[in-house]
């Protein structure tokens, strides 16, 4: 080892001496002595590595202020929760990887209230006896959907599994080939049917299925008929699909229950917000479907949950299935879902109070104003190496909802002013993700794009731009 490096290594302070520094004593009060001590050791190792690599150029890292700063940064990273808030500027409103629906303020307040102390989760206040946690939701869901009864589980995949296991175990379930969907995470309807203990009977073809296909598939082994909404893709051209109403007539004639999985699911006609119509739970019930399943954290705009509504006798059977206990909702989720559903009692205020609907219905003009607010602050921090412009773009709904629909939007396009953009843009994207509240965009057409449809906290976003390190 050269003499210079040897001399510098000898100047690295000990753990004990750093622990006695006044700013470090303050850090101990916040983080605890054990974590601070371990972090100091890590900082010292990093300092020694820099000395070995940079020699005299590493002198600044030996200064007391630098050591305290390094330690503070290390402690901040070490205590940063893995699950964090981010800015979703990807252009996908219901982004599965980014947590799907943003909850309404009413839902957040409800969660906090029940989380802070004891609650009547399974307790009837009037009678003083044990209650049913479904009671907080079933009447509300029945009112909103027109169903006779309802229950809830932790997600829609669980809802489909539970319904099939209850009504079709060891029996056959006919499903159109055009509805054998796969959603994110390799969730496949055929696999769920198998895991539920049922036998899938494929009917029709990918593009065309007729009512006679359902009729011919029915035998003494048939448990129920099933329809699956193809929410994440579209079959176009020479096609034929049997409606739920048509199948329900056949199902009643053969004394079989009809199940429909709406997937994303919604309780309102989205066409009023300029979006294509998506089948609602109310429409399914009106069409004669006996059991309907749909998600809580997609178009509904609530927490992750699987909602099951339908005939009273069938829902009662589903609730008695022992598997349901493994799928039940906790008190915080029930509170959030209840508060979200209550907002649907006043449909005229949904666009203002439910963030998912508000973001989907957001006008291009409003997004343009946001773009104009944040363009100059971003240009100031990225410097002359990049050019920032406002461009037209298209957002998408996401999470398997309205798969072919595109929403006109505005984005900030950050491109390089010289040289090849590839590596520079990736470093730029990395830098935005390294902000205190990570900013998630996308690289497209030789630019880093920030689609602003989902940016509502403009002040919070702009305030942290000074921390961008390129």
The string of pLDDT tens digits covering residues 442-469 is: 999 899 999 999 999 999 999 999 999 8
**pLDDT for 470:** 85
Does residue 422 share a domain with residue 365? yes
Helical ranges in 241-363 per DSSP H? 244-253, 281-286, 312-320, 331-343, 350-353, 355-360
**pLDDT for 420:** 74
Q: What single-letter DSSP state applies at residue 368?
A: H
Boundary residue ending a domain (353, 385, 405): 353
Boundary residue ending a domain (318, 353, 388): 353
The β-bridge relationship of strands 172-176 and 199-203 is parallel
Does residue 308 share a domain with residue 421? no
Does residue 346 share a domain with residue 227? yes
Does residue 312 share a domain with residue 281? yes
Is 387 in contact with 424 (CB distance < 8 Å)?
Answer: no
pLDDT lower than 50: segments of the chain: none
Does residue 306 share a domain with residue 398? no
Does residue 148 share a domain with residue 30? no
Q: What is the CATH number of the domain that holds 171?
A: 3.40.640.10
Does residue 461 share a domain with residue 315? no
Does residue 253 share a domain with residue 197? yes
Q: Which domain holds residue 396?
A: 87-96+361-467
Between CA 275 and CA 296 the distance in angstroms is: 19
**pLDDT for 184:** 66
Does residue 192 share a domain with residue 142? yes
Per-residue pLDDT tens for 86-109?
999 999 999 999 999 999 999 999
Does residue 429 share a domain with residue 290? no
Enter the pTM of the model: 0.89
Number of domains within the chain: 3
Q: How many CB atoms lie within 10 A of CB 191?
A: 14
Q: What single-letter DSSP state applies at residue 104?
A: P
Does residue 399 share a domain with residue 310? no
SS3 content of the chain, % helix, strand, coil (to 5): 50, 20, 35
Close Cβ partners of 222 (under 8 Å, ≥ 6 residues apart): 171, 172, 173, 174, 201, 254, 256
Instruction: Give how far Cα 348 sits from Cα of 107, 272, 279, 357, 390, Å.
Output: 18, 11, 19, 12, 32
Nearest to 355, CA basis, from 457, 283, 233, 449 = 457
Does residue 282 share a domain with residue 183? yes
Boundary residue ending a domain (353, 371, 397): 353
Is 270 in contact with 393 (CB distance < 8 Å)?
Answer: no
Tokens 């929410």, residue located: 231
Task: Please work out, in degrees rounded to the nearest 5, the angle formed at the alpha carbon of residue 71 by the alpha carbons of 465 and 80.
Answer: 55
The β-bridge relationship of strands 199-203 and 258-261 is unpaired
Between CA 313 and CA 278 the distance in angstroms is: 28
**pLDDT for 410:** 97
Q: What is the CATH number of the domain that holds 426?
A: 3.90.1150.180
């Amino acid at each position: 080892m050269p003499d210079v490096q040897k001399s510098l290594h000898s100047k690295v302070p000990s753990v004990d001496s750093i622990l006695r520094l006044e700013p470090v004593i303050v850090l101990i009060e916040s983080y605890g002595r054990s974590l601070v001590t371990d972090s100091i050791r890590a900082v010292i190792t990093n300092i020694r590595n820099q000395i070995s690599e940079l020699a005299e150029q590493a002198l600044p890292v030996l200064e007391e202020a630098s050591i305290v700063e390094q330690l503070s940064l290390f402690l901040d990273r070490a205590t940063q929760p893995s699950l964090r808030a981010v800015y979703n500027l990807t252009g996908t409103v219901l982004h599965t990887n980014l947590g799907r629906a943003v909850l309404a303020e009413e839902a957040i307040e409800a969660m906090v209230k029940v989380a802070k102390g004891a609650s009547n989760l399974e307790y009837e206040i009037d009678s003083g006896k044990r209650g049913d946690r479904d009671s907080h939701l079933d009447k509300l869901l029945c009112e909103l959907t027109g169903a006779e009864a309802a229950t809830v589980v932790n997600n829609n995949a669980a809802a489909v599994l539970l319904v099939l296991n209850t009504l079709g175990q060891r029996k056959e379930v006919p499903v159109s080939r055009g509805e054998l969907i796969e959603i994110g995470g390799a969730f496949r309807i055929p696999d769920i049917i198998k895991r539920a203990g049922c036998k899938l009977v494929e009917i029709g073809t990918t593009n065309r299925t007729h009512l006679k296909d359902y009729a011919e598939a029915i035998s003494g082994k048939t448990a129920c008929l099933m329809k699956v909404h193809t929410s994440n893709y579209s079959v176009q051209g020479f096609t034929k699909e049997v409606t739920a109403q048509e199948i329900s007539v056949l199902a009643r004639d053969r004394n079989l229950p009809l199940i429909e999985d709406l997937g994303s699911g919604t309780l309102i006609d989205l066409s009023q917000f300029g979006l294509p119509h998506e089948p609602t739970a109310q429409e399914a019930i009106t069409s004669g479907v006996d059991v309907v399943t749909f998600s809580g954290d997609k178009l509904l705009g609530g927490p992750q949950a699987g909602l099951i509504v339908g005939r009273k006798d069938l829902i009662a059977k589903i609730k008695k299935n022992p598997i349901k206990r493994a799928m039940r909702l906790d008190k915080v989720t029930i509170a959030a879902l209840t508060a979200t559903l209550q907002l649907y009692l006043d449909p005229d205020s949904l666009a203002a109070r439910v963030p998912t609907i508000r973001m989907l219905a957001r006008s291009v003009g409003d997004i343009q104003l946001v773009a104009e607010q944040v363009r100059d602050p971003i240009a100031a921090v990225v410097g002359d190496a990049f050019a920032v412009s406002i461009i037209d773009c298209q957002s998408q709904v996401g999470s398997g909802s309205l798969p072919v629909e595109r929403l006109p939007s505005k984005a900030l396009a950050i491109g390089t002013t010289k040289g090849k953009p590839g590596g520079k843009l990736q470093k730029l994207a990395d830098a935005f993700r390294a902000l205190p509240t990570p900013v998630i965009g996308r690289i497209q057409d030789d630019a880093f794009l920030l689609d602003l449809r989902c940016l509502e906290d403009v002040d919070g976003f702009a305030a942290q731009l000074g921390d961008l390190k390129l």
